Structure formats: structure tokens, C-alpha cells
Amino acid sequence: MNLDHGSRVYLYFAALVAATSGFLFGFDIAVINGALLFLRDQLHLSEIQTETAASALLFGCILGASIGGWLSDRFGRRRVLMLSAALFALSAFGAASARSLVEFSGGRFIGGIAIGAASVLAPLYIAEISPARTRGRLVALNQMAIVTGILVAYLANWLLSFGGASSWRWMFATAAIPAAAFFVGLLFVPESPRWLVEKDRSQDALEVLARVNGRAAAVTELGQIEEAVAGESGSLAELFQPGLRRALGIAVSLAILQQVTGINTVLFYGSVIFKEHVGTGSDTSAIFANVLVGLVNVLATIVALSMIDKLGRRPLLMFSSGAMAVGQLALGLAFLSPHPPAALVLGIMLVCAASFAVGLGPGVWVVLSEIFPTRIRGRAMAIATVSLWCACTLLTMTFLSLTRALSATGAFAIYSSMCVITFLLVWRIVPETKGRSLEDIERFWVPGGAPRDKKS
């Protein structure tokens, strides 16, 4: 390999391996959608128990996100990702072999720990290994992997649904295959160069940077990283200093709002919505409707990948939240009819999925991976990601109950209002980070406690 010029192939291989965790993230999140129809009948679940089954994974996500950043700051990004891969496989077998709600929830909880840790570390690792000019696109690759995992889960659910009442077991078991591939791939990627500098391994960091970006650029970038690390205390108290306190507030707000816009009602309960509120007929046809949602999700994410480093983070986030506000309101209005046309509901869901995937889906993860100092980036991002998973858990555990209390129209009206709040937050407060090095992003929070140019 020519270290004078670096290797784009090496960079993309490392990013793709890390993004495999996103595929497992998406698959495990979405597989419950179709499986839930069979699972609740076979295990005789009540409405509250159905919400518990859907939410067990998310409680694990909260724990995984809570400890993932701390573990990665201590042991390295790569090692903790390898631990996540092992937990993904264990969860697949545990959920597939469950004989009761308790056993099923335990298996899903383990998978949630893996997702929580990986959701912190995959975008963080990709951001730390990527040059500024391609960082947004490569971090968004993780979101591409997530939506691909969602689509594959929907397809697997649909194909396996013809197998009868016990097909849900195979739906969960298939996740063990990509989990094994993820673990093997991690054996061939480097540790984060910024983490290596923190651990006084600058020579190792230089070698990684040279393989990614060429020797000359690596020497310059290494100097910037060493300067940034030398000026950091590494204490979480640093996050509550005037400048970084603002960064933390933005990160946590974006993380929560990404979830309470309501997109996961489609990802988790899409089949239930089509079966009970639209009346699409068979379980198989209800599951197939989700395949179309997953396909649009993937196509819109491809658009986001091509635009996020050109247009920037803010324009996509604003467009996404604005379009979702309209879509969620339209969905609520559609449910004013006791049995709205299936084509209408599906069409609006496709608009909501596309709107989310082109902006809020990848954009939030990109911003979270960019705005914190190197030495505490893992733990700081964990705070934001825990907030995200808490919001996701709240949404998932209350959707059926909220729909019963306020009707589907009332529930989606609330989600629409959250989209409006998200638009206003991005418009007024969120800075643009396109094209800036991580060290420059870190520095521009500090003078005066605010970024120098929030719209540049």
C-alpha cells in the first residue's frame, strides 16, 4: 500500500465493517414488526405484554448506550464493537428459542445492549477515522446500513411468514449470520487513531492516518489531534463548561426529538397498524406493506448519502422535520375514518419514511458523532444516545396505549407537533459542521461558549 497517498479502499472497508453494526441495529429493531403478529398469538400476549415484547430490546439499548461510550474510552472502539457482535449473535439464538415472554424479553434485552453500544460507537468510530471532506457521507453510511437492515428484516419477515405460526423464531435466528460476519470483519480493521493518541500511541495513530489519507496529510492531522487532546481534561465536567454545555444540550435535544417525531411507530407497529386500523386482511399482506416502507427508506437514505457533504447537515434536517410534520398530520387526519383506504395510509407512511431517511435519520447521527472533544467523545455521545433510546422506549411503550386513549388521530397529531419543534430547533440553534475537521469543530464551541458561525 502506498502510504504517500493513502487508500480509499482501506478507508471504505473500515467504514463498511463498522457500519455492519448498523445493519444488525436495523434488522433487530425492525424484525419485531412482522414477528409480533405471530408472537402475540403463540405466547397469548395482552396489549401491555405486546408493548413489553416490543420494548424489551430498547431497555437493553439504554444500558448498552450507557456503558458503551465509557468502555470504548477505556478499552478502545474496536474491542467494544467486537463484544457487541458476540452479543448480537447470542441475542438471535436467545429470542428464537424463547418459550415465554420472560425468555423472549431476556434474549431481546441482550440484543439491545449490543445495539445501544454499537449505536454509540459505529458512527463515532467512522467519524474518527474519516477525513473531513468525506466524514458526513461515511458516517451516514451507518444509517444506510441501518435502513438496509430494516428492509432485509421486512423481506425476511414476509418470506418466512408463509411458514406458519412458528415462523417468528426463524425471523430472529437469521440475525446470527451477519453478527458472525461483523465479528470476523472487525479482526481486519484498525483502532481509531484519535483513541490511539489518547493512549500515547501516536506512532500507531500515524500509521492508521497515513493508510487512510496519505503520509503528508497524516502528519498534519496527527499534530492537530495531539494539540486537541493535550488541551482536554478528559473529565465529564468539561461537558458542562459554557461552550460544550451548549453542544451537549443540542446533542441531547436532537437525539430525543429524532425519536418523538414518531417514526418508530411505523418501524415497530407497522404491521399492527395495517392489520387493525386499516384492515388489510391477512398477516402476510400486512407484513408486505412494510417491505415497501423499507424500500423507500433505503432509496431516500441513498439520496441523503449523496447530499449530506454537499448541502450540509442543517438543510437536510430542516427539510426532513418539516416534511415529516406534514406527513404525520396527514396520517392522523386519515385515521379520522374508521377504515381509511390502505393505499392512502401506505402512501403517507412512505412519505414519512422518505422524509425521515433523507435528513433526521442520518443527519442526527452525523451531528452527534462530530461535536464533542476527542477524550470524552465516547462518554459524551453515550449521554446523547442514552437520551435517544429513552425517548424511543417511551414512544414504543406508549403508542398502543396513546392510540387507545387519544385515538390514532390524536397520537399522530402529537408526533406532528414534535416535528415542528425539531424544525425550529435546527433553524435557530443547530450549527453547520460540514467540511470542518473534528478538532476545528471542537475549538469553535469554546470561545465565548458558542460556535462562531452557526449557519456556515
**C-alpha 247: how far from chain center:** 19
Write out the chain in H/E/C secondary structure. CCCCCCCHHHHHHHHHHHHHHHHHHHHHHHHHHHHHHHHHHHCCCCHHHHHHHHHHHHHHHHHHHHHHHHHHHHHCHHHHHHHHHHHHHHHHHHHHCCCCHHHHHHHHHHHHHHHHHHHHHHHHHHHHHCCHHHHHHHHHHHHHHHHHHHHHHHHHHHHHHCCCCCHHHHHHHCCHHHHHHHHHHHCCCCCCHHHHHHCCCHHHHHHHHHHHHCHHHHHHHHHHHHHHHHCCCCCHHHHHCHHHHHHHHHHHHHHHHHHHCCHHHHHHHHHHHHHHHHCCCCHHHHHHHHHHHHHHHHHHHHHHHHHCCCCCHHHHHHHHHHHHHHHHHHHHHHCCCCCCCHHHHHHHHHHHHHHHHHHHHHHHHHHHHHCCCCCCHHHHHHHHHHHHHHHHHHHHHHHHHHHHHHHHHHHHHHHHHHHHHHHHHHHHCCCCCCCCCHHHHHHHHCHHHCCCCCCC
Q: Tally Cβ neighbours within 10 Å of residue 8.
A: 12
* CATH architecture for segment(s) 8-189+231-449: Up-down Bundle (1.20)
The residues spanned by each domain of the chain are 8-189+231-449
What's the pTM? 0.76
pLDDT of the chain, 456 residues: tens digit per residue: 545 566 788 888 999 999 999 899 889 988 887 777 788 778 888 778 877 888 888 899 899 988 887 888 889 999 999 999 999 999 999 999 988 889 999 999 999 999 999 888 888 899 888 887 777 788 878 878 888 998 898 888 888 877 777 788 898 999 999 999 999 999 999 999 988 988 889 899 898 888 888 888 888 888 888 877 776 655 667 777 776 788 888 889 999 999 999 887 776 677 677 766 665 556 677 777 778 888 998 999 889 888 888 888 899 999 999 999 999 999 899 988 877 887 888 889 899 989 999 999 888 988 887 877 766 776 787 788 889 889 988 888 888 788 888 888 999 999 999 999 999 999 998 888 787 777 777 776 665 444 444 444
Q: Tally Cβ neighbours within 10 Å of residue 193.
A: 27
